[in-house]
A and B are shown apart, each in its own frame.
Chain A
Amino acid sequence: MRGLISAKSKVGGACVAVAALALWGTITSAQIVPASGQGRAQSQTQAVTYLFPEQVTVPAGKPSAVALHFRIAPGLHINSHTPSDEYLIPTVFSIPADSSAHLDAAKYPAGTEITLAVDPKTKLSVYTGDFVIEARLVAAPGNHLVQGKLHYQACDRNECMPPKTITVPIDVIAR
C-alpha cells in the first residue's frame, strides 16, 4: 500500500513537472506587441527625440529652472509654441497632474520663420534641429521619477505627420 502511494506521488509529480515545462514553453513563445493607435499605423520616423538631462538635483519646494534638450530629425520641422495659424498644433511640454513633481512654468524658444516654396506668402513659425525648453519644476524633498510629455506635430516641406506625444523621463532629486 505504501509502495502504491509512493508510485502515485512520483507519477503525479512527474505530470506537474511536464505541465510546468509545457507552460514555460508556451509562455516564452507567446508574444504581445503593444497595440498601435486606433486604426493608424505608427509613423516610421521619430521626429523628435529627448536628449538630456536624465537626472537633475533641485532645491526642495522651490521652483527651479531645468533646461530640457530635444532634437528634431533632419529635414523635419515642428510648429513652435506660438504657431502662425490657429489650426496649427503648438509644441507643448507638460507634466501629468498626478506626478509627484509639478511644472510651475515653461519657457519656449522663439520659432524660426519659414515659408513653403509653393506659397511664399504664408509664414510658419517652427523649430528645427536642436531646441531647448526651460521648465521650472517644483518638487517636495525626495526622489521623483517624472514622466513629462512633449506634444508636437511634425512636417517636412511637402507633407505632415499626425500629432504625437513623447515621454520625457526625468529623475528629479529634491533636497
Chain B
Amino acid sequence: MRRNTLVLCVTLFILAGFAWAGWANWEYRQQAAERLLAASGRGELVPDPSGGAATYVTPLKGKPAPSFALEDLSGKKVSLASYRGKALLINFWATWCAPCKIETPWIIELRNKYASQGFEVLGIDTEGDDLKPGDTAGWAKNKAEVSKFVQQMKVPYPVLINGDSISTPYGGLDELPTSFFVDRQGKVVAAQLGLTSERDIEGNIKKALTQ
C-alpha cells in the first residue's frame, strides 16, 4: 500500500514536471516570436561613407505602415486607417526627449505649410513608463503631463498616447525621436531616427506627398 502511494506520488510529480516544462517551452516560443517581430521592424543607422549624417534604414520602407488605434488627449480612439488618402508623418516622441522638443517647432511649421496639400502629422507620445492598462492614476498623470507639454509647444496636430503599445511593429522604438513618412496609400516611404534637420524632414514630407 505504501509502495503504491509512493509510486503514485512520484508519477504525479513527474506529470507536474512535464506540465511545467510544456508551459516553459510555450513561454519561450512566445517571447522568441515577439523578438522576431520586433527585429523584423527594427531599423539601423547606416554611416555615410563620405562622413555626412548617418541614414536610418528601416525594413518598413516600401511596406504598409503597421496599423494601430490609439487614444488622443481627449480620450477619443484614433486609427491610422482613418488617415488613408493623406500623406502622414508618424512622429514618436516623449516629453523627456530634448531632441524631440527641438524638432517639434520644425514639424509644426512644415505641417502648417503642407496641410493644404493633404499632409498631416500624428504625434505619438511614447514615455516608456511601462504603465499597466488598469493604472488609472498613472495614465491620468501621463495625459496631464503630455497635455501641458502640447499646450506649451502649441501643437496643432493630433497627439496620441501609449506609443509603447505599438513599439514592436515599429521596430522597438529604442531611441527617440523616430519618424515614419507614409504616402497616401499607407506605404512607408522614408524614416528618420534622432534629430536631423528641418530640411531633411521637409525632403521626406515631399516624398510622402508625391509618391
Q: Is B69 an interface residue (CB 8 A)?
A: no
A24-61, CB < 8 A from B: 26-27, 29-33, 35-44
CB-CB < 8 A to A26: which residues of B? 17-18, 21-22
**The one of A12, A29, A89, A158 that contacts B99, using a Cβ cutoff of 8 Å:** A158
Cβ of B7 and Cβ of A160 under 8 Å apart? no
| Residue of B3, B98, B126, B166 with highest tally of chain A CB at under 10 A | B98
| Size band of the interface chain A makes with B | 35 or more
A29–B25 Cα distance when bound, in Å, is 8
Question: B175 and A118: CB pair below 8 A?
Answer: no
Q: Is the CB of B35 within 8 A of A39?
A: no
Contact in complex: B14, A163 (CB < 8 Å): no
Q: Is B176 an interface residue (CB 8 A)?
A: yes
Task: State whether the Cβ of B172 lies closer than 8 Å to any Cβ in chain A.
Answer: yes
B164 contacts the other chain (CB 8 A): yes
- Are B128 and A162 touching (Cβ within 8 A)? yes
Contact A16 B31 (CB under 8 A): no
Q: Does B73 sit at the interface, judged by CB under 8 A?
A: no
Cβ–Cβ contact A30 & B21, under 8 A: yes
| Interface check A145, CB cutoff 8 A | no
User: Known contacts being A116-B102, A160-B100, A160-B176, is A33 close to B130, with CB within 8 Å?
Assistant: no
Known contacts A26-B17, A38-B130, A40-B128; 19 further A-B pairs (Cβ under 8 A): A26-B18, A29-B21, A33-B28, A35-B31, A37-B164, A39-B164, A43-B175, A85-B98, A87-B149, A88-B96, A158-B194, A159-B176, A160-B97, A160-B98, A160-B99, A160-B100, A160-B175, A161-B175, A162-B126
Q: Interface on A for B, CB 8 Å cutoff?
A: 9, 12, 16, 19-20, 23, 26-27, 29-33, 35-44, 85, 87-89, 116, 118-119, 122, 124, 153, 155, 157-163
